[in-house]
Chain A
Amino acid sequence: MGSNMAEAHPVGFQWVMEAKARGARVLHIDPRFTRTSALADKHVPLRAGSDIAFLGGVINHILSNDLDFREYVQAYTNAPFLVSEEFADTEDLDGLFSGYDPETGTYDTSTWQYENGLPEHSAEGDRHREQSAGEQHGSGGPKLESGTGIATDETLRHPRCVFQILKRHFSRYTPEMVERICGVSREDFLDVCRAWTSASGREHTAALVYSVGWTQHSMGAQYIRAGAIIQLLLGNIGRPGGGVLALRGHASIQGSTDIPTLYNLLPGYLPMPDARHAGKQDYVESIRGTHQKGYWHNADDYIVSLLKEYWGEAATAENDYCFGHLPRIDGDHGTYRTVMDMIDGKVFGYFLLGQNPAVGSAHGRLQRLGMANLDWLVVRDLTMIESAEFWRNAPEIETGEIAAERCRTEVFFFPAASHVEKEGTFTQTQRMLQWRDRAVEPRGDQRSELWFIYHLGRLLQRKVAGSTDDRDRPLQDLAWDYRTEGDGEFPEPSADDVLRRINGADLTTGELLDSYLQLRSDGTTAAGCWIYSGVYAGGVNRARNRTARTEQDETALEWGWAWPANRRVLYNRASADPQGRPWSERKKLVWWDAGRGEWTGHDVPDFPKNTPPGFEPEYGEAGPGALAGDDPFIMQADGKAWLFAPSGVVDGPLPTHYEPHESPMPNLLYGQQGSPARKVYARGDNPSNPAPPESGGEVFPFVFTAARLTEHHTAGGMSRQLAYLSELQPALFVEVSPQLAAERGLANLDWAHVVTSRAAVDARVMVTERMRPLRLDGRVVHQVWMPYHWGPSGKVDGDIVNDLLGVVLDPNTLIQESKVATCDIRPGRRPRGRELLEYLAEYRRRAGVTVETGTHVMTADTTASETAAPETTEPETTGRDTTAAPDTTDREEDA
């Protein structure tokens, strides 16, 4: 779902075809009929933006028919845990959870906590919303004060246990509701349910694949939560052939998240410190609870080792390892906020390092107007991209909004070295690092980013060498002594040396580390990214392992290196039952070897190696030692997978169907129309199309979505300049159904233009039955889609599709909703120049669009429906519901 794998990840898709050849059933649930649908056993079209309603329907189907993998759910998820009495669900509050503040549009999550769990909660909803909290918890779960001592009901019957809450929450997501919201027939929906559940269990597993079709929504994180809940209920996590597989879109986008060029993270998913952290101890305590389980408890080891790599000798126990050198964040510093700040004159210099936001980011006009209001801009790329030449080829030149003679931004273009002209590692979508050898030297001024940043840093250090200004200290102290190759003033830094420092070393012996388990918080180890420790295990660059697939088994542990510890399937302890035996012979991956007293198997076991299946930690234990033998989710504070998220997700502990920010439909489930916590910006330069209950939506009656083609790559900087690829996909087009073509007078291959309140974009019309009108709640809704790879430069050019989109963000990730919007489509070409601005203004007038449109996010009527408190009859529990005696309630003691 939310993925066109055959088109966007074609070589990976060969494995789906292999599975199909071996008897797997492939289902494609997606708004569009694509190359993936053509190869699937079944394609189920649904309305873009309605996936949670569909997935919620599947959850309801599983729970109402007792189709969950009960043994797995009971042992490995938080289904038995009780939630606070204060918690109120969307069923009680017309689509809101308890804790909502309509003033700020944020949640105070304190009522979502486990009973007796004492997890940390923050009353600072505002701060949470601003800070992309979901990503702060990156690879692990968010903090709980204690991972033990949580009240449970093993029978799963207590009305406040997670299992029952889940059941109630999704009880109205019926096949009929799915049909009305998504436009999927009851038969198709039930067929998917049957296929999914019958392919799961002891003997079978089902895999769920998604891509940016899920992430680029105002509730993208919740889409993925919904998919994960199904996979957990069916026992498909941590097992071979299972999982929730995110297919990522760039060679090293996984790597640039692990070793982040992201504002809210430090390497290895450590959060960036914020203004509240007085010192390192404060910071560490905000990451982990004193008594929480699992490996995040060792956060101190990870941050101190990072600080030792950053500031070397200068970082000592006495000065808190230079923790004070780290800048603090205190809100949203994401790329969209930053671009608005550029327009508002608060940003002076901007680096674009292999990225082309003038075409590739949502709301291209905003991006270009931001660039036009800087002191200076640096663009590093292989070729001349739109972002480097906005001052002479932006669409705003034609409208008069940008003119070279009036544009003050200095632009530096630095030509980049290509992937074969430098060595280093990419991390691909399965967390696997692969080393590239340098094949040839770059020409002329072409240089690697490694060279550019290394020498920029060197020059800066030289310029501040004599400074006594305190703010220069972090730069002066910075350990920047990487090995270089060649001579002269500007030699090439060694990527191999940087990778070694990322892996980390024991500073007392100088030996490279074999694993993150060796990291220490006493300053005796340095490591740039703790989850990558082990890539140089035994002093060997494991990312360069290239044992042929024919010379090893199918797990292929000898090809590349996957973090952490070369594990290929995360949480693979769950591939065995609580007693440590594989769930079935067919699906065996790792298991407990009682003879040797250790976990073993085809993959590297993702569990403390010698912790036996029946192990029960002492009450009060913390960290990895507090993990019970049946706690497979070793990065979670309670060792369990979270069906219900008591913290860490800012827009609700459970996924809930809300309509997209721009939608032709009212929310049929709740009075709350859109996500109540989505981030909206009331700015004249960021208008929204109206959505119910606002009027005027009929001016933009169609659902719009954008996507990729195999033959181009994102903003086109690496494909539109290539003759082969340009010939294969020469022009921008818009796909419409024959019915919509008839309704709007569009003819195949003629020009048409698509309009939103932001922009109008020309494209060739492709009339095709691949786009199917959907019947929704008694009305017909048309969807249109466009590829977004074109811009004014390159061998083939075209209008910029991202200009059609506005900026509205998921509050967890601060990712934009670019997979769904509303639009109009008209035959013929759009007006140009000044007339275009008037044309758009007229559209906005007709639709009644103002600065406020779409920004009043709360539409629920909580007074009307605040009645249905959870039932109060409490069934017999196993003695673990210990509301009366919280200190004796933890499951370990009772078991």
Chain B
Amino acid sequence: MGVSDWIRSWPVYRQLTGADRLGRGEAAASPNSRERRPRTVDADRVAGSVCPYCAVGCAQNVYVGSDDTGEHVLQIEGNPDSPVSRGRLCPKGSASNQLVTGEHREDRVLYRPAYGTEWQELDLPTAMDMLADRVLDARRKGWQEADADGKPLRRTQGIASLGGATLDNEENYLIKKLFTALGAVQIENQARI
């Protein structure tokens, strides 16, 4: 490094000679931070989304990029177009990139048999089939055809479900529809809590 480069590398020099007289921007930047680029610049496309935490419903832009292993979420930011959130996200919404890309996420079906002390792996179609058998069995065991006065109930008390407030309307719709057709009535979610 020559002497003039050396002098120019001083933030105070850049502050006095450049446009950033207050020394809060360019003048104070180190080579390291000057070379940093936002994760979003590598995105191939942006998907419109909504924060999955609270009910304010802040709009999100999901930046998607790809490599040889496929497409990945690179970053999630607030969408400034939203009349609700104007681009802002709180700490939870800002952390939702970590929520969807973090290593805490499970990606295999796990099964713990009765009296078991460890999880076992199970393939998805097998698990779905085992479950369908169990649903029919629990439905039968808890079936109530009529009440004490002989009025029809045609329901099962054998199956219960809890959850829905973090799910989509379309999902809640199918949950209620299927369980109702099965005769299961104890279908509940966080709105009762």
The complex places the Cα of A273 from the Cα of B136 at a distance, in Å, of: 23
CB-CB nearest in chain A for B122: A412
Nearest B residue to A342 via CB reads B160
Residues of B within 8 Å of A, CB-based: how many? 118
A404 adjacent to B193 (CB under 8 Å): no
Instruction: Answer whether A267 and B176 are a contact pair too, CB < 8 Å, given A392-B117, A471-B183, A559-B82.
Output: yes
Chain A: CB-nearest residue to B168? A424
Which residue of A is nearest B166, CB measured? A354
Query: Does A326 count as interface, using CB distance less than 8 angstroms?
Result: yes
Per-residue CB contact flags for chain B residues 102-143 toward chain A (1 = under 8 Å, else 0) read: 101111111111111101001011011111111111100111
Of A349, A414, A475, A725, which contacts B159 at CB under 8 A? A349
Q: Are A347 and B168 in contact (CB under 8 A)?
A: no
26 contacts between A and B (CB under 8 A): A11-B56, A14-B86, A249-B55, A251-B55, A252-B166, A252-B167, A260-B189, A262-B187, A310-B180, A330-B153, A348-B141, A353-B162, A354-B163, A376-B134, A391-B116, A404-B117, A405-B115, A418-B100, A426-B50, A429-B57, A438-B47, A439-B62, A441-B71, A474-B182, A710-B92, A724-B94
**A546 to B61 alpha-carbon distance, docked (Å):** 12
Task: Tell me if A718 counts as interface (CB < 8 A to partner B).
Answer: yes
Q: With A349-B138, A438-B47, A722-B98 as given contacts, are A9 and B172 in contact (CB-CB < 8 Å)?
A: no
Q: How far is the CB of B117 from chain A (nearest CB, A)?
A: 5
Is the beta-carbon distance between B142 and A335 smaller than 8 angstroms? Answer: no
- Check if A293 is an interface residue, CB within 8 A of chain B: no
B59 contacts the other chain (Cβ, under 8 Å)? yes
The answer to whether A478 touches B55 (Cβ under 8 A) is no
Report how far A348 CA is from B159 CA in the complex, Å. Answer: 6
**Interface positions of A from 412 to 437, Cβ below 8 Å from B:** 412-415, 418-422, 424-430, 432-437
Bitwise, A627-670 to B at CB < 8 A (1) or not (0) is: 00000000000000000000000000000000000000000000
Inter-subunit contact B49/A439 (CB<8 Å) = yes
A453 beta carbon closer than 8 Å to chain B: yes
Binary flags per residue of B47-69, CB closer than 8 Å to A gives 1, else 0 = 11111111111110010100000
Residues of A within 8 A of B (CB-CB), count: 163
CA distance A426 to B172 in the complex (A): 10
Interfacial chain A residues near B135, Cβ < 8 Å: 349, 456, 460
Q: Which residue of A lies closest to B88 (CB)?
A: A11
Tally of contacts, chain A with chain B, CB under 8 A: 474
Chain A residue with Cβ nearest B103? A721
The distance from the CB of B77 to the nearest CB of chain A, in whole angstroms, is 12
**Cβ B168 vs Cβ A328 within 8 A:** no
> Can you name the residue of chain A whose Cβ is closest to the Cβ of B110?
A413
Contact of A375 among B51, B109, B110, B134 (CB under 8 A): B134
Which A residues lie within 8 Å of B143 (CB)? Answer: 471
A259 and B185 contact, CB distance less than 8 A = no
Please pick, from B83, B108, B114, B185, the residue contacting A272 in the complex, using a CB distance under 8 A: B185
Q: In the complex, which residues 76-108 of chain B have their Cβ closer than 8 Å to any Cβ of chain A?
A: 76, 80-86, 88-96, 98-100, 102, 104-108
Cα(A413)–Cα(B124), bound, Å = 10
Of all chain A residues, the one with the shortest Cβ separation from B93 is A11
Contacts of A532 in B (CB 8 A): 169
A498 to chain B, nearest CB (A): 4
Asked if A617 is an interface residue, CB under 8 A from chain B, the answer is: no
- Knowing A251-B57, A330-B147 touch, does A263 contact B186 (C-beta < 8 A)? yes
Flag B153-187 by CB within 8 Å of A: 1 or 0 each: 11111111111111111111111111011111111
- B8 at the A interface (CB under 8 A): no
* B residues near A362, Cβ cutoff 8 Å: 193
Residue among B95, B105, B149, B173 making CB contact with A725, cutoff 8 Å: B95
* Interface residues as binary, A707-740 with B (CB distance below 8 Å gives 1, 0 otherwise): 0001111100011011111001000000000000
Given contacts A11-B89, A418-B100, A713-B54, 19 further A-B contacts (CB under 8 A): A253-B191, A255-B172, A256-B172, A310-B177, A327-B183, A349-B160, A381-B106, A384-B104, A411-B112, A424-B171, A438-B47, A449-B175, A456-B128, A463-B136, A478-B177, A498-B174, A549-B82, A713-B53, A723-B98
